[in-house]
Structure 1
Amino acid sequence: MKPYIPDTLPLAQLDYARLITPVGEANAKLAEYSGLLQGIVNPAVLLSPLTQQEAVLSSKIEGTQATVEEVLEQEAGQHFDGRKSADIQEIHNYRKALLLSQQHLQGGGSISLSLLRQLHAILLDSVRGQDKSPGHFRKQQNWIGRAGCPIEQATFVPPNPLQLPDHLQQWQHYLQQQDFDVLAQTAIVHAQFELLHPFTDGNGRIGRLLIPLFLYARQRLSSPMFYLSATLESHRQEYYQRLANISRQGDWCGWIQFFLHAITQQAHTNLLQVRRILALYEETKTQIREITHTQHSPQLLDGIFDRPIFNASDFARRNRINKQTLQGLLRQLSQGRGPLTVLRQGQGRAPAIYAFPQLLTICQGAT
């Protein structure tokens, strides 16, 4: 099989009549979601579990097996076996890359090849794939197929590495152009990146990370917190098939339609989830105030939403509450009708671990 030669962007021929309806539906639903985000004072804190869920699901598409609860439990001090721990480290790396990229754009930066190399280095830090040139575009020909198959039996062979730098420059130039619709352009940006397959490993995760970044950079999101991996994971077979149809049949329209439907579906899901999170936030605010009668109510509230599984020592440090004071407050909040449960009692130097089940239940709706 010969290396794939990517189409020049912007695409010369598209059946725009097929795209009018899905473009309109996706733009309307995403605008509704962005409007809801705009009304949230601190979305990074309030919607932190959704960011965790994105890191879990985008990594799951690539084969990791860990849950949001396990990731948070390890952060809180629980120990897991070697394979599970390695999976969790990959998810940690993805979340770190995701947050760094968001901060980069919010600070006035742009999406560039340099940024992608930086994110790739974070993604493969100290995990499987760390021997696959972290932070560097590939210098060798790679291919996709069943494990261990020769290139002759590959299902897809990305572009020749000698031509890759030129293709990447053209792709980066397309990021700065205005195409017929921003959401359709996002579909094209993501697919072209995946077809270029510029890294030896980690292309899927970097490509999915690009989606909220591009939408935010083009001001289609008031905050770069729109993650598509839940929908792509639930339609994984079609996701890969639609990408394959571009290289095999030149079917860009079919891919763009699929992607726009995914945006519509995910935005609808996000609207329901975020409204439930906001309602829970208000309910829990009242609950904490009535149970504790403390001046630390705001820190307690934001703290359990930012990290719905935590250990007491880390919570005290992050939220600047005296440890002894916090112990009494957490005891109150984990008794009777309080919002917290105790996952592990404190013993010796090992601090107690608490969970906020209602928030975790809402975020599990992403799967």
Structure 2
Amino acid sequence: MPWSPEAPFNDLPPLPPDGVDLEPKPVLKATVEARTALATLSQAGQLLPNPNILIHAVPLLEAQASSEIENIVTTADELFKHVESGGGDHATKEALRYRSAIFAGVEAIRSRPLTAGTAARVCSVLQGREMDVRAVPGTRIANPATREIVYAPPEGADLIREKLTAWERFVHAEDDLDPLVRMAVAHYQFEAIHPFHDGNGRTGRVLNILMLIEAGLLRDPILYLSRAIIARKNDYYRLLRAVTAEDAWIDWILYMLEVVRESATSTTTKIGSIRICQEHIAERARAATPGGRNAQFLGVLFEQPYCRISTVAARCDVSRQTASSWLHALVAAGLLSDVKVGREILFVNHELLDVLTRPE
């Protein structure tokens, strides 16, 4: 039966696709380039005095960008401001849950392989409630501008679970397929299954990172893929649909490989900018306050752009009064600014915030 965008795609074929060479020469070339960029990123990350800046900040930026793809728009500034409190407006809370979902997924695959259960866990954290596969028929995906139906995913909870089980088998297949190509192909399949009532796009983008970690291509979730996808958002959706309608696998795989290569390269550049920023601020902090000679204090300033007196006191094992004096000395020196949020004061490292949020 030919595919129709308005009919549930219950005949979605399992992976790998029949009769398709997933690694022709252009794909092999792009795979080498993406792998080289990932290896360079890994080496650059090890040179940071405090690698926690990437582990804490990149998932937040990924959260903002991935949520923006789904038209949940917030700012990086709002995310960093509310990361510990979980506050902010609805969009900020949604994006912060994305960050929590990344960490929940990473924790899950540290103890067991990636499964459909991992996907459900990630989606549940994203949505703030327990998520199971869709049981109610009638899901249709439409073009947001024209309202035209462009895809109808498979229907029936049992069928969806069958397709997720087949997806799991492909994810862990023991063959010679490169992990980057496997990630690209598995991402299409997950989005085509569309197993949950909501949150499938963001869940699928978290799973991409988890697959790369599980394959040993990343150690931590420091790859920021969603900005590159946003830059080509129309292509992202167009190429997903082209796989369904035309079996256009190679164009889709090349797109995803370029997203990985570009993202790894830009994150490596960002690491260089962070190192320069750290060196400049550390030099000036040493002259401004005794705290500037405390390595733990300098580390706290570069874990994320906002910090609190209580955080400095706990991490540096000093009194609140000492922590406050160190932070206010940096405000007086122009290295930080203070902003009141609710009942507390946050100290903002604007130079770091600018480095993190500007395109590289």
- 1:58 corresponds to: 66
Which residue type is aligned with residue 2 of structure 1?
A: A
C-alpha displacement at 1:17, in angstroms?
2.8
User: Quick one: distance in 2 between partners of 1:78 and 1:33?
Assistant: 30
Q: How many residues align?
A: 349
- 1:99 corresponds to: 103
Q: Does 1:260 align with 2:257?
A: yes
Aligned-pair Cα RMSD in Å: 2.6
- 1:122 corresponds to: 125
C-alpha displacement at 1:291, in angstroms?
2.3
Aligned-partner SS, 2:150: coil
Unaligned runs of 5+ in 1: none
Distance 1:365 1:248, change over 3 A: same
- 2:3 corresponds to: none
Moved more, 63-72 or 32-41: 32-41
- 2:155 corresponds to: 160
Cα deviation code 1:50-78 (max 9, x no counterpart): 22111111111111121111122235779
Q: Contact 1:48/1:305 (CA < 8 Å) preserved in 2? A: no
For residues 200-211 of structure 1, the aligned pairs below 5 Å read: 200-211=197-208
Aligned-partner SS, 2:338: strand
Q: Contact 1:38/1:222 (CA < 8 Å) preserved in 2? A: no
Aligned-partner SS, 1:352: strand
Which residue type is aligned with residue 155 of structure 1?
A: V
User: Which of residues 323, 344, 355 in structure 2 aligns to 1:362?
Assistant: 355
Aligned-partner SS, 1:232: helix
Cα deviation code 1:6-30 (max 9, x no counterpart): 2321233126133132122112212
- 2:142 corresponds to: 145
User: Which of residues 163, 170, 176 in structure 2 aligns to 1:174?
Assistant: 170
- 1:3 corresponds to: 8
Unaligned runs of 5+ in 2: 1-5
Aligned-partner SS, 1:163: helix
Distance 1:333 1:261, change over 3 A: same
Q: Does 1:90 align with 2:94?
A: yes
User: Which of residues 100, 105, 111 in structure 2 aligns to 1:108?
Assistant: 111
Which residue type is aligned with residue 248 of structure 1?
A: A
User: Quick one: distance in 2 between partners of 1:214 and 1:101?
Assistant: 10
For residues 32-71 of structure 1, the aligned pairs below 5 Å read: 32-40=40-48, 42-71=50-79
Cα deviation code 1:269-310 (max 9, x no counterpart): 111001111222233333333322238722322222223123
Q: Contact 1:341/1:355 (CA < 8 Å) preserved in 2? A: yes
Q: Contact 1:76/1:311 (CA < 8 Å) preserved in 2? A: no
Q: Contact 1:46/1:302 (CA < 8 Å) preserved in 2? A: no
Cα deviation code 1:196-243 (max 9, x no counterpart): 101100001010011111111111123332121010011111111110
Which residue type is aligned with residue 121 of structure 2?
A: Q
Which residue type is aligned with residue 195 of structure 2?
A: P
Q: Contact 2:50/2:303 (CA < 8 Å) preserved in 1? A: no
Which residue type is aligned with residue 69 of structure 2?
A: I
Distance 1:318 1:351, change over 3 A: farther
Q: Contact 2:313/2:323 (CA < 8 Å) preserved in 1? A: yes
Distance 1:18 1:148, change over 3 A: closer
Which residue type is aligned with residue 102 of structure 1?
A: V
User: Quick one: distance in 1 between partners of 2:31 and 2:186?
Assistant: 16
Could you tell me the TM-score, scaled by structure 1's length?
0.87
Which residue type is aligned with residue 151 of structure 2?
A: F
